Structure formats: structure tokens, C-alpha cells
């Protein structure tokens, strides 16, 4: 368990005027020799002034205030916090890759282009889709790319009446936000009592105004959409496109190809499914795949192989344009490429199966104290709910904070929205049985505490560098900078 | 191995679940969809993977780089990557559980603070994807704030930024993007700008330095834009602000940038670091995460994600943007870089950029048939007009292991002989001379 650390000062509070971390060689002439007075900065910026050693101490110390996957188990549903192999960090930091300018002559960047080309090809094989763009910087950026691709597809067919995107009420918030950004009206549909798509509700919502139906498979309550092909047929019959949110692709790779389910478009999260690190909130990468009829509308450029040379210069006349200044988060794609080269059909299948095995193990082990909201076998994550009558006024958020005291990060809480007091647990395939047993034991102890000393849980955490934070206090009079 | 389970573990787990095999757990998947052939290459061991990827890296040819055009090669002190590659930062999740994420949250607060100090703007976000997407989102905010429909951009805005902006606003009803032309000196034609600004203009996008490296008369532009009741969105270079006038000083409403030059490698253009700032009045229109100071229950200072009511996970289709993951680790590189340099180091590196670019411009402009095209002040890059197509020069100099610059003919009609050349502090005087000698030898 972590000890309580003293209050940590800001870098600026440690600052001493005139102190420096880095020196550059002297200049011959100062800025005023090159720029007229009016173009010059009037006063120095209020940046910290620390030595290199102080800077190293400062950020090392800050790093120690974090939970991280390398140190702690993150049972974070929907976020797929699985191990990030160190080889990928090492390889993505090779100067041969990092010191390459995006506008350098193509003949000088064949190694990077070759990697990107084969990453596109591998993604096609794993999903069954016809083409992939690597441009999107994250999952949500991928969603926007996918929905704008769909819009370009409908527009090219002069099918302008399609103004609606259908999303289920279990969807990630990014789905409706994305549809809105793309200029569409969002139509929310209620889920069926078993947590899956309500086909009658979907049928009722579908019309010649539907542009896209966005679904997550497995869905956000951790269940496979058993009628997925029937659903895809309904969507296609209405003339709409089926967008697959690939946030949960970790449970599919090797088991099911999205193309076989009828997906027209999908994004993948390299920082979830393909083991790239989360970095405290990015950078990620959100490649978008498309079926053959939609592929011409993906962003440009894409990497092509022509006459033995890799090139970005291909013509894509129907493309929606650009989604990002350059070609994507290359350093993250490189990690995804490494992942896809380290596994094959057999091992992908094992990865997905073990992700599913682990989630069901935790679900079964917690049964009786914390029950799954949908009492059935789940895929790679399970959504737990608490019975308020047994909880002595303790809420899910309290349990989440108490878990931190036991050395575990919290599950995803209060999502999906249709489950009251939801705790969504995704162990991923890389956690051992021993680690999951320790987690289950911690949850059982918290359950006991709820019965015997609920205030301990309500006041948690007790072991972090700060106590429970009043988040509302930050929004009242925002202090967002020194 | 990636999956840790032993055979015994697996048996015990299956028993606990009450099934006899993993296959029983897959019953909810239509069985004819299961186990498709993937046709993937053989799985590589770590040793094989390492050799394979190192061989790929070796297929990139290192050239002495004189290209800028949106991504800049700068010296990165070793402490930057040594600190940001710590697993505690690298493998942490988005700091939603604030009490267990104070390290990441404080670094973001310090990043926001450094960026505000650098720009003289009131508020900065935790980051956006890159400069182009930050600009596009700032323009969307301007459309919402003003209720107007026209986005006016400098003709010398980065061509990729123009394209991304158009992609983002294309489906906003009635919205159009127009360009304001340049004068002969490579900066905006202010009279033409006056003629284009109107009661329809939601915002003007001012890039300074602009794509040709030229510095704009930002105050004069700002006054005209605000006179028209429009908002000013500035696109800046963060290193240049070590010495250059700040967006806040010329009254920009939003200011955005590609933050890659601050301690992030070029990485073939990604990840970038979208810097997004605004005046306080527009704080609630900003997209994405923002960290603020809160108190814990003992009244001590703590850091949290705040103003989340703007964001997709709360507001869904009414959010200011769909952004979720941003570029936190790149922002961490940037704040470590700025902390190491401090105000004096940043001014020094900016002055070195000015000096090297001006030295190179002088050397190249003296070569017969070559001239520096624009008279306007510039920072670390400039347009060189050549006697032959710029493409040809790039090909010739590549043979001497020099990446000569960016050929402007692709994006700007009539500029086939123009080369955009950049020299940062990474180029020594010997490098500059080698470039001049090589260019002088082009026949």
C-alpha cells in the first residue's frame, strides 16, 4: 500500500530567478537585430526556473503520485488496460523512426512507409475490411472520421435526405457527440431488457432518413449482440451504413471478423486492443477500416505500394479530405504494428478467449456480494451493480475510492448509463489469476466494511497523497493556471 | 508470455465459473462467425521482432533536414524522454480517479500554466490532437459564439490546416471558408482583408509566422478583425514566442499551435500536440479536458479534471466536441521541456533559430539565380526562389544527404520554383555552409 506523501509544490513554487536546466550556445546577435521592435515579446513568460536536477526530481516525484498499469491492476471496463510490452517502447523510440520529417523525400522514408503499409494490411486481415486509414489520432477522432466517411458516401450517391444517426442508450458518449459534430441528428434507442439492441426499437427508428447506425460489439454491458447479422441486415435494408465502435475489439480479434458481422465502417483503438500505452490520456491511434463500397471516401493520403516503392502520393478523388495535419500518430501505429507481428491467428484467439475467461472469473467470484447486472455469461467485461438496501448508504463512487486504498485502480463507474450504480470491470487477458484473486479479496473486504464500518468506505481514500477531493469546488471558481 | 495463466489456473477458473471449457463462454456468438481464418504471418518472438523493426528503421535514410512546414526539428534534452518514459506516466490512464492520479493532473496543470504564460492567453486545455485539429475546433467554437457563418483564413495558412478545417466545418449548415490574399512581401494584404471582413465573418485565422515563415502585422490585423465584430484565432509557433509578440498581446480570442517543437520528436508527423487556448470568456466553449485546482476534504490543494459538463461523457450530443483521449504524454514532454529551459533558455533557443535561419537565408540568397522571395521579417524559415523547379533541387540535394526543403508548387500555383527552407538550432554553421555549397553546385 502506498504511504501518504506530503504536499507537492508546483514547479513555479520551487523556482529561483536565474536558475537554468539547459543552456544553448551563445548567439552572435540578439532578436532585435533580426526583428523590428513591434514584433518582439514585451516581457519574459512566467515559466519555472529550475536546474536540470531539480526538474528531474520534480517530475520523478510527480510520477510517484500516480497509479499506473506497470504498478497496479486497472479493472477499467471499456478501457482495456492490458500490458504494454517494453519491446514496443524501445522500438518506437529508435532514432531511425523518431527523427523522420513527414515531408522528407519518400525515397528517404521507405522504412516508415513500409511499416505503415503492412500495418494497414494486417488490420485488413484481422477485420476482413477492405481498407484502413491510419490518420485518426484517437478513438473519438476515428469515430468522427468514420461518420464523415459515411457522410461522403451518402453525399456521393446524392442521398441527402439521410440526416440521422441511431445510437443505443448504452453507447459511449463519444458516439452521439461524434454524430452531432458531423452535422447529424442523434436518435437514441432504448436497449432491450437483456442489455442488447432492442430490434423492435431499432426497426422503428430506421427510415430513409437514417445515415448510420453506430453499435459497439461486444456492447458496453459486456455482451455479444447475438443477432448481429440480422441487425446489420435491417440497417442495410434501410439504406444506412453500419458503424462498428471498435472499443471492445480486444474480445473479437481472432474470434470474429467485423466484416463477417456486416460492418461497413469501424475504428480500432491501438492504445486499447493493440497494447499501446495510454500515456495518462493519449496519444492514442484510431485507425478506421471500411468495406469496399465505402473505402474510396476515407481520408487521404494512404500508403500504397507501387512498383516496389511505398508512396503516399496516390490519387483519392472521392476522399473526404484530411482529418489531421499529417498521416496519423505514427509512433503509436508502430506499437500496434509490433503487436500484430507478435501474434497470429492462434494467439489472437487465445488472447480474446482469456480476456473473456478472466471477466467471467471475476463475475463468478464476486457473485453474492457484487452481482452482475445482467446475470449471464459475459464477454471481456462484466457490469456489476450494487443493491442499495445492503449498502448502508455507500455508493459505487465510494467503493471505487476505497479500492485505491487496497492498491487497485477503480473500475469504470456509472457507465453504462442504463445500469444504476454501475461498476464495469475489465480485467483483460494479461492479468494473472493471483492478481484477480487479490482484487476479489479486496472487494469482499470492502463489502464487509460496508456492513461493519461504512464510514471508512465513505471517507476513502485514506492512503493517497490527497484525501477525497471535492470536484465541484474546482468548477465553482476555476483556477486553471498559475 | 503475454497471457500468464497456467493450465491449472485455467482449470480452477473454469470450475469457479461453472463451465468445462472456454468454448462454453462463447455460446452467445453465432457459431458460424467464430474462428475465421486470419491468414496472418507467423508470430515473431521478441528477438525476431526487434531485428525486423530495427531493419525497417534502418531503411529510413538519415538526411540533414532543412524542412519545417509545420513540424520542426529541435534539440530535445535527454531529461525530457527520461522522465516522460517512466512507466508511472507512460502506462497511467486518463486521470479520472483524481486521488490516484495527482502526478498526471499536476503536470497537466503546469502544462496549461506554462502555455498561458507563453501565449499571454487566459486559459489552455490539456491538449488536442495536433495544430490543425485544434484550429478546426477553435473555428467551430467561433461559429457557435458568433452565430455567424464565414471563416476567413490567411492564404498563407498551412495548406494541411486549411484542408482539415474544411473537413471539420463542411457539414455545418451554411458555413463557408474564404481566403484573404497576401501582398508582395509575403504577408497579408490589409486592404484586401478590410474588403473581405463583413458582418458574416465569424473569425479570421491569422498564422504568424505564416506558412512562408513571414511574421504578420498582428496588431493591425487584430484591430481590423475586431472592428468587424469577428473573432481572431491565431496560429503561432511556440518556440518563436520565446522572443516574439504573443497572441494575448495582440488580443487574440483563440490561439492554437502545433506543440511538437516543445520537446517532441518529429516522428514522421505524429503524434503531434495540439495547443488550444482562449480568452476566459470562451472557457466553456473549449473542447476536451481541462485540469483545475480543487480542495480535498482536509482543505489541501488537489488537482482534478474540471468543467466536465462541456465534455462528451457527460453532455453526449450536446458536448462542445467529441474528443476523449488527447495527447497527454506529448503535453508532458512539452512541460518538461519548458521547465528545463525556463524563460531564458526559451529566449536563447528562439534567438538561435532566428540567427541560423537568417545566416542560411543570407548564404543562399547570394547564390547566382537564387533569392529570398519575401522582404517581411521571418523566424526560422523562409521562401527561396530558385532558377529551376524546387522539386529538382530536392532530388539533387538528396544525393548529398541533404533534405533541402519543402517544394511549394504542390500547394501554391505559380510557386513551382519556390522552396520553403528551415534552419533551427540543430543546424551548425558547418551544416549551413554545406547546404550552400551543395546548392551552388546544382547544375
Q: Do B213 and B356 lie in a common domain?
A: no
Three-state SS sequence of chain A = CCCCCCCCCCCHHHCCCCCCCCCCCCCCCCHHHCCCHHHECCCCCCCCCCCHHHHHHHHHHHHCCECCCCCCECCECCCCCCCCCHHHHHHHCCHHHHCCCCCCCHHHCHHHHHHHHHHHHHHHHHHCCCEEECCCCCHHHHHHHHHHHHHHHHHHCCCCCCCEEEEECCCCCHHHHHHHHCCCEEEEECECCCCCECHHHHHHHCCCCEEEEEEECCCCCCCCCCCHHHHHHHHHHCCCEEEEEECCHHHCCCCCCHHHHCCCEEEECCCCCCCCCCCCCCCCCCCEEECCCCHHHCCCCCCEEECCEEECCCCCCCCCCCCCCCCCCHHHHHHHHHHHHHCCHHHHHHHHHHHHHHHHHHHHHHCCCCEECCCCCCCCCEEEECCHHHCCCCCHHHHHHHHHHCCECCCEECCCCCCCCCEEECCCCCCCHHHHHHHHHHHHHHHHHHHHCHHHHHCCCCCCCCCCEEHHHHHHCCCCCC
Contact residues on chain A for B2, CB-CB shorter than 8 A: 83, 85, 342-343, 347, 351, 429-430
Q: List, for residues B242-269, the tens digit of each pLDDT value.
A: 999 999 999 999 999 999 999 999 999 9
What is the per-residue pLDDT for B443? 76
Expressed as residue numbers, the domain containing B359 is: 64-73+342-440
As a whole-number percent, the residues of chain B with pLDDT over 70 amount to 100
Q: Give the other-Cβ count within 10 Å of A260's Cβ.
A: 17
B149 touches chain A (CB under 8 A): no
User: Quick check: A331 and B271 CB within 8 A?
Assistant: yes
8-state DSSP, B181: P
Chains A–B, number of C-beta pairs less than 8 Å apart: 671
Question: Given CB atoms, is B414 within the 8 Å cutoff of chain A?
Answer: no
Whether the CB-CB separation of A138 and A285 falls below 8 Å is answered with yes
Task: Judge whether B57 lies within some domain.
Answer: no
Percentage of chain A lying above the pLDDT 70 cut: 99
Residue B51 lies in a domain: no
Best to test chain B binding among A45, A120, A458, A460 (most B CBs inside 10 Å): A45
Describe the crossing of helices B429-440 and B328-365 by its angle, rounded to 10 degrees: 50
Rounded to an integer, what distance in angstroms lies between the CA atom of residue A151 and that of residue A157?
10
Q: Which domains does chain A have, with CATH numbers?
A: 88-342 (3.40.640.10), 346-472 (3.90.1150.10)
Q: Which of B346, B135, B338, B156 is nearest to B253 (CA)?
A: B135
Structure confidence at residue B1 (pLDDT)? 73
Whether residue B15 lies inside any domain: the answer is: no
pTM over 0.90: yes
* The pLDDT of residue B179: 98
Cβ of B348 within 8 Å of Cβ of A110? The answer is no
B27 in a domain, yes or no?
no
Residue A428 φ/ψ region, left for φ over 0, alpha for ψ in the -120 to 50 degree band, beta for the rest? left
**Residue B44 covered by a domain:** no
Q: What pLDDT score does A4 carry? A: 42
Given B337, B367, B393, the domain boundary residue is B337
Whether B51 shows a pLDDT value over 90: the answer reads yes
- Is there a single domain that holds both residue B94 and residue B197? yes
pLDDT of residue A3: 41
Task: Kindly state whether residue B388 falls inside one of the protein's structural domains.
Answer: yes
Do both B165 and B285 map to the same domain? yes
Where do we find the cell 446524392? A158
Q: Is B41 on the interface with A (CB under 8 A)?
A: yes
Across the interface, whether the CB atoms of A42 and B98 are under 8 A apart is answered: no
Contact A278 B94 (CB under 8 A): yes
B12 in any annotated domain: no
Considering the domain architecture, whether residues B386 and B311 belong to the same structural domain is answered as no
Domain count, chain B: 2
Nearest chain B alpha carbon to A176: B317
CATH of the domain at B312: 3.40.640.10
Query: Per-residue pLDDT tens for A156-188?
Result: 999 999 999 999 999 999 999 999 999 999 999
Say if B336 is an interface residue toward chain A (CB within 8 Å): yes
Do residues B432 and B313 share a domain? Answer: no
Q: Note whether A151 contacts B: Cβ–Cβ < 8 A.
A: yes
Helix (H, G, I), strand (E, B) or coil at B227: helix
B191 touches chain A (CB under 8 A): no
* Chain B interface includes A57 (CB < 8 A): no
- Over range A277-282, report the average pLDDT: 96
Last residue of a domain, one of B337, B365, B387: B337
Q: Where are the alpha helices (DSSP H) in B148-294?
A: 159-169, 190-196, 218-227
Checking if the pLDDT of A6 tops 80, the result is no
How large is the ipTM?
Answer: 0.97
Query: Which residues of B fall within a CB distance of 8 Å from A471?
Result: 98, 294, 304, 306
Residues of chain A neighbouring B62 (CB-CB closer than 8 A): 96, 99, 108
Residues B293 and B376 in one domain: no
> Which of A288, A436, A480, A482 best probes binding to B when mutated, by most B CB atoms within 10 angstroms?
A480
> Do B368 and B235 share a structural domain?
no
Mean pLDDT over B299-320 rounds to 91
User: Is the model's pLDDT at B293 over the cut of 60?
Assistant: yes
Find the CB nearest B406 among A103, A179, A255. Answer: A103
pLDDT band at residue A1 under the 50/70/90 scheme: very low
Q: Could you tell me if B298 and B372 lie in one domain?
A: no
pLDDT digits (tens, 9 = 90+) for B108-120: 999 999 999 999 9
Which pLDDT score is estimated for A7? Answer: 56
Asked if the Cβ–Cβ distance from A281 to B126 is below 8 Å, we say yes
Chain B hits for A363, Cβ within 8 Å? 17
Q: Where a domain ends, among B337, B365, B396?
A: B337
Residues B324 and B360 in one domain: no
Give the closest of A42, A223, A281 to B249, CB-based.
Answer: A42
- Note whether B196 and B288 are same-domain residues: yes
Smallest Cβ distance to A466: which of B99, B323, B352?
B99
Contact B317 A338 (CB under 8 A): no
Q: Are residues B91 and B182 in the same domain?
A: yes
Q: Which residues contact A20 (CB under 8 A, 6 or more apart)?
A: A49, A51, B341, B342, B344, B345
Q: Is the residue at B46 inside a domain?
A: no
Q: pLDDT by residue (tens digit) across A288-317?
A: 999 999 999 999 999 999 999 999 988 999
pLDDT, average across residues A47-60: 98
- The reply to whether B307 and B371 lie within a common domain is no
Amino acid at each position: 500500500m502506498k504511504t501518504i506523501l506530503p504536499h507537492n509544490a508546483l514547479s513555479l513554487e520551487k523556482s529561483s530567478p536565474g536558475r537554468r536546466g539547459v543552456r544553448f550556445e551563445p548567439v552572435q546577435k540578439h532578436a532585435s537585430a533580426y526583428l523590428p521592435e513591434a514584433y518582439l515579446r514585451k516581457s519574459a513568460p512566467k515559466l519555472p526556473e529550475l536546474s536540470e536536477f531539480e526538474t528531474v526530481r520534480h517530475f520523478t516525484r510527480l510520477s510517484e503520485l500516480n497509479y499506473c498499469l506497470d504498478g497496479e491492476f486497472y479493472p477499467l471496463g471499456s478501457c482495456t488496460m492490458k500490458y504494454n510490452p517494453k519491446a514496443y517502447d524501445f522500438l518506437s523510440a529508435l532514432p531511425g523512426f523518431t527523427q523522420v520529417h513527414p515531408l522528407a523525400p519518400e525515397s528517404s522514408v521507405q522504412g516508415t512507409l513500409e511499416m505503415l503499409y503492412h500495418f494497414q494490411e494486417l488490420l485488413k486481415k484481422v477485420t476482413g475490411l477492405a481498407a484502413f486509414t491510419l490518420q485518426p489520432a484517437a478513438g473519438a477522432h476515428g469515430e468522427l472520421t468514420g461518420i464523415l466517411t459515411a457522410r461522403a458516401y451518402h453525399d456521393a450517391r446524392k442521398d441527402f435526405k439521410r440526416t440521422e444517426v441511431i445510437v443505443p442508450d448504452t453507447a459511449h458518449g463519444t458516439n452521439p457527440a461524434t454524430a452531432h459534430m458531423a452535422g447529424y441528428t442523434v436518435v437514441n434507442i432504448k436497449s432491450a431488457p437483456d442489455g442488447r439492441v432492442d430490434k423492435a426499437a431499432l426497426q422503428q427508428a430506421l427510415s430513409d432518413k437514417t445515415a448510420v447506425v453506430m453499435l459497439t460489439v461486444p456492447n458496453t454491458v459486456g455482451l455479444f449482440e447475438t443477432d448481429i447479422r440480422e441487425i446489420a441486415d435491417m440497417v442495410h435494408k434501410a439504406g444506412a451504413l453500419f458503424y462498428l465502435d471498435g472499443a471492445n475489439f480486444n474480445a473479437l480479434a481472432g474470434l470474429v471478423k467485423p466484416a463477417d458481422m456486416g460492418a461497413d465502417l469501424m475504428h480500432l483503438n491501438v492504445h486499447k486492443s493493440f497494447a499501446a500505452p495510454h500515456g495518462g490520456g493519449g496519444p492514442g491511434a484510431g485507425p478506421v477500416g471500411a468495406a469496399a463500397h465505402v473505402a474510396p471516401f476515407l481520408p487521404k493520403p494512404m500508403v500504397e505500394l507501387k512498383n516496389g516503392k511505398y508512396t503516399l502520393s496516390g490519387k483519392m478523388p472521392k476522399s473526404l479530405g484530411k482529418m489531421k495535419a499529417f498521416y496519423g500518430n505514427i509512433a503509436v501505429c508502430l506499437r500496434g504494428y509490433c503487436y500484430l507481428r507478435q501474434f497470429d491467428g492462434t494467439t489472437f484467439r487465445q488472447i480474446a478467449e482469456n480476456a473473456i475467461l478472466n471477466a467471467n472469473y471475476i463475475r463468478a467470484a464476486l457473485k453474492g456480494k457484487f452481482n452482475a447486472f445482467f446475470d449471464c455469461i459475459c464477454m471481456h467485461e462484466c457490469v456489476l451493480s450494487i443493491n442499495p438496501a445492503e449498502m448502508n448508504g455507500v455508493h459505487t463512487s465510494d467503493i471505487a475510492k476505497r479500492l485505491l486504498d487496497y492498491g487497485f485502480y477503480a473500475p469504470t463507474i456509472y457507465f453504462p448509463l442504463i445500469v444504476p450504480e454501475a461498476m464495469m470491470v475489465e480485467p483483460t487477458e494479461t492479468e494473472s489469476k493471483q492478481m484477480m484473486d487479490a482484487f476479489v479479496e479486496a472487494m469482499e473486504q470492502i463489502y464487509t466494511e460496508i456492513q461493519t464500518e461504512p464510514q471508512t468506505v465513505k471517507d476513502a481514500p485514506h492512503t493517497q497523497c490527497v484525501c477525497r477531493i471535492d470536484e465541484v469546488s474546482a468548477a465553482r471558481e476555476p483556477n486553471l493556471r498559475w | 508470455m503475454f497471457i500468464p495463466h497456467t493450465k491449472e489456473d485455467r482449470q480452477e477458473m473454469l470450475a469457479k465459473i461453472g463451465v468445462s471449457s472456454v468454448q462454453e463462454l462463447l455460446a452467445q456468438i453465432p457459431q458460424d462467425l467464430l474462428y475465421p481464418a486470419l491468414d496472418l504471418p507467423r508470430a515473431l518472438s521478441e528477438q525476431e521482432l526487434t531485428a525486423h523493426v530495427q531493419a525497417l528503421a534502418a531503411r529510413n535514410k538519415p538526411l540533414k533536414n532543412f524542412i519545417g512546414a509545420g513540424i520542426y526539428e529541435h534539440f530535445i534534452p535527454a531529461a525530457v524522454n527520461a522522465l516522460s518514459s517512466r512507466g508511472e506516466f507512460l502506462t497511467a490512464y486518463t486521470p479520472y480517479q483524481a486521488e490516484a492520479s495527482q502526478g498526471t493532473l499536476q503536470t497537466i496543470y503546469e502544462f496549461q500554466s506554462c502555455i498561458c504564460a507563453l501565449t499571454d492567453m487566459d486559459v489552455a486545455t490539456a491538449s488536442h490532437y495536433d495544430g490543425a485539429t485544434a484550429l478546426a475546433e477553435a473555428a467551430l467554437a467561433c461559429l457557435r459564439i458568433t452565430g455567424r457563418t464565414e471563416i476567413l483564413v490567411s492564404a498563407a495558412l498551412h495548406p494541411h490546416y486549411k484542408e482539415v478545417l474544411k473537413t471539420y466545418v463542411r457539414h455545418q449548415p451554411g458555413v463557408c471558408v474564404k481566403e484573404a490574399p497576401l501582398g508582395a512581401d509575403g504577408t497579408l494584404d490589409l486592404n484586401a482583408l478590410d474588403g473581405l471582413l463583413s458582418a458574416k465573418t465569424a473569425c479570421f485565422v491569422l498564422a504568424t509566422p505564416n506558412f512562408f515563415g513571414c511574421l504578420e502585422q498582428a496588431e493591425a490585423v487584430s484591430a481590423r478583425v475586431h472592428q468587424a465584430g469577428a473573432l481572431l484565432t491565431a496560429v503561432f509557433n511556440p518556440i518563436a514566442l520565446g522572443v516574439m509578440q504573443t497572441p494575448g498581446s495582440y488580443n487574440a480570442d483563440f490561439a492554437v499551435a502545433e506543440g511538437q517543437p516543445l520537446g517532441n520528436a518529429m516522428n514522421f508527423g505524429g503524434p503531434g500536440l495540439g495547443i488550444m487556448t482562449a480568452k476566459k470568456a470562451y472557457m466553456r466553449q473549449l473542447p476536451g479536458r481541462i485540469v483545475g485546482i480543487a480542495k480535498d476534504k482536509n482543505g489541501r490543494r488537489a488537482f482534478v479534471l474540471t468543467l466536465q459538463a462541456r465534455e462528451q461523457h457527460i453532455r453526449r450530443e450536446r458536448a462542445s466536441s467529441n474528443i476523449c483521449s488527447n495527447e497527454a504524454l506529448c503535453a508532458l514532454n512539452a512541460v518538461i521541456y519548458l521547465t528545463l529551459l525556463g524563460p531564458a533558455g526559451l529566449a536563447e533557443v528562439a534567438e538561435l533559430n532566428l540567427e541560423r535561419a537568417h545566416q542560411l537565408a543570407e548564404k543562399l540568397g547570394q547564390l547566382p539565380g537564387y533569392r529570398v522571395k519575401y522582404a517581411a521579417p521571418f523566424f526560422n524559415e523562409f521562401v527561396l526562389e530558385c532558377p529551376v523547379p524546387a522539386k529538382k533541387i530536392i532530388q539533387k540535394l538528396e544525393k548529398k544527404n541533404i533534405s533541402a526543403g519543402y517544394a511549394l508548387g504542390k500547394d501554391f500555383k505559380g510557386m513551382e520554383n519556390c522552396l520553403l527552407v528551415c534552419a533551427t538550432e540543430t543546424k551548425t554553421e558547418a551544416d549551413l555552409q554545406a547546404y550552400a555549397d551543395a546548392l551552388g553546385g546544382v547544375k
